[in-house]
Amino acid sequence: MITILRIGHRPFRDKRITTHCALVARAFLADEILIDTKDEKIEQNLEKIRQKFGGKFKIKTGINWKKAIREHKGIKIHLTMYGMKIDEAIEEIKDKKDDLLIIIGAEKVPPIVYEKADYNISVGNQPHSEVAALAIILDRITKQKWIDKKYDAEIQIHPSNKGKIVGAR
Amino acid sequence: MITILRIGHRPFRDKRITTHCALVARAFLADEILIDTKDEKIEQNLEKIRQKFGGKFKIKTGINWKKAIREHKGIKIHLTMYGMKIDEAIEEIKDKKDDLLIIIGAEKVPPIVYEKADYNISVGNQPHSEVAALAIILDRITKQKWIDKKYDAEIQIHPSNKGKIVGAR
């Protein structure tokens, strides 16, 4: 089970970035995303995508993030540009079967997150994007399984070099 | 040389997503990003990052994107959820030494982009994020070289599992 925890979400300012985080979480095979601030719009958007494209991805908003971190039984990962190198971190966690909690912040993240995380992991030590960082770590954790993932869904897209081929259930 | 071309950028609506695309382009070792709509704010933001964190990444906005595609001499890649599978595409292009142009759209992309691209490539056939798609394809194209990239820069971050270690030139 892979859970993403998004903290510091501000519905007006972060609407699109957090939506991208949630879509990436789903597309790269996480099981759910928890978002600290209540945001029904994002919940509805993701639920619409899930209904059309399939799967069991869950989204919950209005989450007490400190409690979510405290009560998580498995490995807690915090993505930050200050963290240890992703390849070394993946080497350490790859054979562990624990549930994973992957924490991504919006702006500045409180020190307690660094402290409570089992791993602070950097996806490169340059400033870029939590959307990209999440995709890269899920790519490594799932061992690229997202590439061939298919759902029994209303919309099914068939890969093609020259156009749009959309199937249906 | 790897150039990213961002089309359909709307400065108000897309400011943050396009900024994330530009930061990802830089962090994952593309050489420049061209953005169709003029946007001095994004140019300034990226230039500030470059001055602090180093490198030679270039950003240009207010670009005629049709001309940019037409005049590109090397391989033209368009990232789309409808495209061919990334692993198969990378297999085809990995030994070619041509300059790459990687096109990412904001909302709906005009059919001409699909037609003019040598490769329409999907980073998974699920809806997610151009920020994530760009990171994943650059990860594959650069063969993970971004992980160890260092700059002689004002700010240098040293990977660490438990805190922030920031060096300086």
- The partner residue sitting opposite A82, judged by closest CB among B81, B85, B164, is B164
CA-CA distance, A123 to A127, in Å (whole number)? 10
In this structure, how many other beta carbons lie within 10 angstroms of the beta carbon of residue A79?
A: 23
Give B2-168's CATH code, choosing from 3.40.1280.10, 3.30.70.20, 3.30.413.10, 3.30.530.20: 3.40.1280.10
Structure tokens at B116: 């003019």
Per-residue pLDDT of A30-69, as tens digits, reads 999 999 999 999 999 999 999 999 999 999 999 999 999 9
A28 contacts in chain B (CB < 8 Å): 124, 128, 132
Place of tokens 């600290």: A36
CA-CA distance, A51 to A140, in Å (whole number)? 27
In this structure, how many other beta carbons lie within 10 angstroms of the beta carbon of residue A26?
A: 27
> What pLDDT score does B169 carry?
61
CA-CA distance, B154 to B168, in Å (whole number)? 5
- The partner residue sitting opposite A139, judged by closest CB among B81, B120, B136, is B136
CA-angle at A151, arms to B140 and A14, nearest 5°: 65
pTM: 0.97
> What pLDDT score does A104 carry?
98
Percentage of residues of chain A with pLDDT beyond 70: 99
- ipTM of the shown complex: 0.96
Question: pLDDT tier at A107 (50, 70, 90 boundaries)?
Answer: confident
Nearest to A77 by CA among A112, A119, A108, A106: A119
> What pLDDT score does B151 carry?
92
Per-residue pLDDT of A82-99, as tens digits, reads 999 999 999 999 888 889
| pLDDT tens series, chain B, 169 aa | 999 999 999 999 999 999 999 999 999 999 999 999 999 999 999 999 999 999 999 999 999 999 999 999 999 999 999 999 999 999 999 888 889 999 999 878 999 999 999 999 999 999 999 999 999 999 999 999 999 999 989 999 999 998 788 876 6
Percentage of residues of chain A with pLDDT beyond 90: 89
Is residue B26 less than 8 Å (CB to CB) from chain A? yes
> What pLDDT score does A169 carry?
61
- The partner residue sitting opposite B128, judged by closest CB among A16, A24, A163, is A24
Residues 55-94 of B with CB under 8 A from A: 81-87, 89
> What pLDDT score does A98 carry?
87
Is residue B33 less than 8 Å (CB to CB) from chain A? no
Q: Is A136's CB within 8 Å of B136's CB?
A: yes
Structure tokens at B66: 């049709």
| Disruptive mutation site among B128, B137, B162 for chain A (greatest number of A CBs within 10 Å) | B128
Is residue A114 less than 8 Å (CB to CB) from chain B? yes
CA-angle at B43, arms to A16 and A131, nearest 5°: 30
Domain residues of chain A, as ranges? 2-168
Q: At A127, which amino acid appears?
A: P
Give per-residue burial for B22-33: e unless 16+ CB within 10 Å, then b. bbbbbbbbbbbb
CA-CA distance, B13 to A4, in Å (whole number)? 26
**How large is the average pLDDT for residues A18-27?**
98
Is residue A48 less than 8 Å (CB to CB) from chain B? no
